[in-house]
Amino acid sequence: MKIEPLLRRMFHVYWRFARGMTLGVRAVVLDGENRVFLVKHSYVSGWHLPGGGVETGETFLSSLKRELIEEGRIEMTGEPLLHGLFFNRRVSPRDHVAVYVVRQYRQDRMPEPNHEIVACGFFSVADLPSDTTQGTRARIAEVLDNRPLTEDWI
């Protein structure tokens, strides 16, 4: 086993439990065919909506803009729609996530894999990767199938 990925995972676990309340942001980025953009991280399993933590001094929107550029080379060209706020008790008893729907954006190209994002792409709902997380699937179903929102990330 390589040491660097193990250290990243250990730091991620420490960071999640050592901090006070954490805020995160994620996006359901949809292309013209309603395919959704997903990312696969090096430090957690499964496919996820792009996003991450809201840093000190950041707003939800500035964090969303930063994360979309970092994880997908996606630059928003219009205002995103706030989909909902969710309590992610699986991560921490203090973690809350704001989810936005992004339909207006530009992406000059798909990013190359790096130390954080090992894979990414647009997927039709019928062809989501088998290891797409349950919370990710729930948010996609809420947005595209008009399923009722839950308070918990799941």
Task: Check residues 106 and 16 and name the one with the higher pLDDT.
Answer: 106
- Report CA-CA distances (Å) from 126 to 36, 129, 153: 11, 9, 21
Distance CA 43, CA 11 (A): 10
- Report CA-CA distances (Å) from 113 to 4, 45, 61, 72, 117: 16, 15, 25, 10, 6
Residue 153 lies in a domain: no
Question: Would you say residue 1 has pLDDT above 60?
Answer: no
pLDDT 10s digits, 137-152: 999 999 999 999 999 9
How many domains are contained in the chain?
1
Question: Would you say residue 16 has pLDDT above 70?
Answer: no
- CATH code for the domain in which residue 88 is found: 3.90.79.10
Span 42-59, average pLDDT: 95
Residue 6 lies in a domain: no
Question: Would you say residue 48 has pLDDT above 90?
Answer: yes
- The per-residue pLDDT for 129 is 98
- Report CA-CA distances (Å) from 37 to 19, 28, 45, 85, 151: 29, 7, 17, 20, 23
Domain that holds residue 52: 20-143
Instruction: Give the global pTM.
Output: 0.85
Residue 12 lies in a domain: no
Residue 108 lies in a domain: yes
